[in-house]
Amino acid sequence: MPIARPEPQNARVIAHVDMDCFYVQVEQRKNPELRGLPTAVVQYNSWKGGGLIAVGYEARKFGVKRSMRGDEAKRICPNIQLIQVPVARGKADLNLYRNAGSEVVSILATKGRCERASIDEVYLDLTDAAEMMLSETPPEVLDKIDEEVLKSHVLGLHVEGNGREEKVREWLHRSDADHQDKLLACGAIIVAQLRMKVLYETKFTCSGGIAHNKMLAKLASAMHKPAQQTVVPSSSVKDLLASLPVKKMKQLGGKLGSSLQTDLGANTVGDLLQFSKEKLQEHYGVNTGTWLWNISRGISGDAVVDRLLPKSHGCGKTFPGPQALKTFSSVENWVNQLCDELSERIQSDLDQNRRIAHTLTLHARAFKENDMEPQRKFPSKSCPLRYGTAKIQEDAVKLFDSGLCDFLGSQHIGWGITSLSIAASKISDLPQGTCSILKFLEGKIPSSASSSGAGEFHKESLPLSSTDDVQSTGCTVMDQEVKQKALASEVASNDIDIKFQAKPLKRIGSLVEKTKDVGKSSILKFFQSSNSSFHAMNQACERFSRDQASSSSFPECEEHSDLEQIDEQVGFSEGHVDIDGHHNQTRNGYMWGINMENIDPSVLDELPMEIQREIREWFHPPKRANTSRKGSSIVHYFSPVKKG
Ligand code: DCP
């Protein structure tokens, strides 16, 4: 469901940058002989020449489209070069493209807040950079303006013949322009510079949209491709939306857009202008009605969220036509393969970025033979995510079983699976201190244990090291803006089951007991002794406070009708319930269901003062505590250098 957010009072400069025919460019950089040739990237599945997933602009001139298969593309463009996506584990391996996307993001992120919205697109908030340029070197005083800036398309600027660059130069130089337009002019210069830097450093071209909000910037970036940029001054918004088909607007591609067409007779976004806010609210509820009223006027207050990494990891595989999976063992085989990849990716996210995923979701498309209820969809299922490939596989198979049960209902008939995907979502940062304490505990484990058991412990127990709940940190992973492309499936669940975390910590305890010096350690005993304290400290370490904990051996499932709906839930987890079923209050002594006063002080006394202080701050944070500050004493104290 879209969220109605008013625009902030001060004008912003927002850019949307989208790579051009991205996978094709990546392949052309890898193999420069392909440059200039009509090229497309095809899926792993080679049926009818493989489905096209990216089409280069040279091939588009021949009418080749993404919806085609390779054979058809060859018919209309015989010289087309069809490149198959890299393959691993019997399916497409997108790492090459993901990494290429990261290269671009690291360049774009240098000028302002940057939100990676998909594998090949980002939003940038360039307000500060534009304001600074305006106060130091406003465009009107610039003698020389780069050609790339002059090639910009400025909506509403009427240009005939070849005079566009001159017109754009005049527009940029206008001293009588209002502050908003002057900011956009600065934005256009900054985006052109960034795009050139991307080209210079990565050899990739991209296109950009520059406007006062994300919605308009995204619309604009797609208007002139490849390797161009489009600016949307406020005065042009009305005309832009007047002709924009509702279905082209983000969030209106589905049922809501269809309802606008059939129930209100609104075919373009501009058509909505004729309806009062009250009328739209009456039809679609207060929030959606307000949002519709806003967007028809080009109003959208969505912020650019500071996020350079994906907000979830997903991988999937389709099994079209005769390839449909019809037995449990074939499904299990593929679920295992997907889990293997997912596990590798979340582990590397953890290692490289110190981020941890909390929720595992399985989604499938299925059919029944002689179906009596063809509308019934295979429900998406979620459960708390446990680290370790075998555990993810085990849980994913159970999620599938559960989904299939619901899908079949009481019917005992044949079935087939035409697509499977799994995703790890609800990703949050690992707090520095927590990780270091776990490392510290690990460091106390004798080396014989660490070569076998400790490795396992490390993997299994890492989910314990979660950070704050999303709301209390204002964590950015919950933002709504992610295109559902190859980067990730967007899924969420609120349930985190503490039982999954208990085992690894117990294992730490038993391993630790084997060591002489650590056996005495009361902080370690603390972890293993008191059950309630154990849970509490467990949560203190993890901050995994979530709705309910289940004691069954089967992961608590959540059902979602479709991934879009799941995405909408992200970021709206309500008040949390601790493991005892009590509502947690955030950032106080009871945050994790434990009162600091209940901890035997000697438990902490063994640790150096700075570490004690940091742990105490977890329970009694100072008013402006900054738990993620750099140079955390815990991190320094237990840094790997000291460990040995
Ligand atoms: N992609 C995919 N499957 C899809 C859509 C896209 O695998 N159904 C991949 C291939 C694309 C990349 O994501 O190269 C980016 O998708 P875009 O929609 O941005 O399209 P392109 O970058 O290919 O082309 P354009 O220049 O039109 O943006």
Which among 426, 425, 428 is positioned nearest to 314, based on CA atoms? Answer: 425
Q: Which atom of ligand 1 is nearest to the CA of 23?
A: 14
- At 56 the pLDDT is 98
- At 44 the pLDDT is 77
- At 91 the pLDDT is 84
Which position has the higher pLDDT, 36 or 599?
36
Indicate if the pLDDT at residue 172 is higher than 80: yes
Indicate if the pLDDT at residue 120 is higher than 90: yes
> Is the CB of 100 within 6 Å of ligand 1?
no
Sequence-separated (6 or more) residues with CB below 8 Å from residue 481 = 115, 117, 123, 214, 302, 305
pLDDT in tens, 237-296: 999 999 999 999 989 999 999 999 999 999 999 999 999 999 999 999 999 999 999 999
Which position has the higher pLDDT, 573 or 621?
621
DSSP bridge partners of 68: none
Average pLDDT (300-323) is: 91
Indicate if the pLDDT at residue 541 is higher than 60: no
- At 560 the pLDDT is 36
Average pLDDT (150-173) is: 90
Average pLDDT (46-59) is: 92
pLDDT in tens, 558-610: 333 333 332 333 222 222 222 222 233 333 333 333 445 555 556 556 565 65
- At 179 the pLDDT is 95
User: How much of the chain exceeds pLDDT 90, in percent?
Assistant: 56
Indicate if the pLDDT at residue 362 is higher than 80: yes
Q: What is the pTM of this model?
A: 0.68
**Amino acid identity at 526:** F
> Is the CB of 225 within 6 Å of ligand 1?
yes
> Is the CB of 21 within 6 Å of ligand 1?
yes
Sequence-separated (6 or more) residues with CB below 8 Å from residue 19 = 25, 101, 104, 120, 121, 204, 205, 206
- At 604 the pLDDT is 59
Q: Where are the alpha helices (DSSP H) in 379-487?
A: 389-408, 432-443, 447-451, 453-461, 470-473
d(CA 628, CA 625): 9
Name the strand (E) or helix (H) holding 433.
helix 432-443
| Spatial contact of 149 and 192, defined as CB atoms under 8 Å apart | yes
Q: Which atom of ligand 1 is nearest to the CA of 19?
A: 22
d(CA 169, CA 177): 13
> Is the CB of 40 within 6 Å of ligand 1?
no
Q: Residue 369 has what DSSP assignment?
A: T
Q: Which two tokens stand for residue 328?
A: 């449990």
Which position has the higher pLDDT, 204 or 375?
204
Which position has the higher pLDDT, 203 or 632?
203
d(CA 114, CA 131): 17
pLDDT in tens, 461-489: 333 222 222 222 222 222 223 333 433 33
d(CA 432, CA 430): 6
Out of 121, 460, 556, 614, pick the active-site residue: 121
- At 499 the pLDDT is 26
Indicate which residue's Cα is closest to atom 20 of ligand 1: 21
Indicate which residue's Cα is closest to atom 4 of ligand 1: 53
Catalytic (active site) residue 341: no
> Is the CB of 18 within 6 Å of ligand 1?
yes
pLDDT in tens, 77-114: 999 999 999 998 888 899 999 999 999 999 999 999 99
- At 39 the pLDDT is 98
Instruction: Indicate the average pLDDT of the chain.
Output: 75
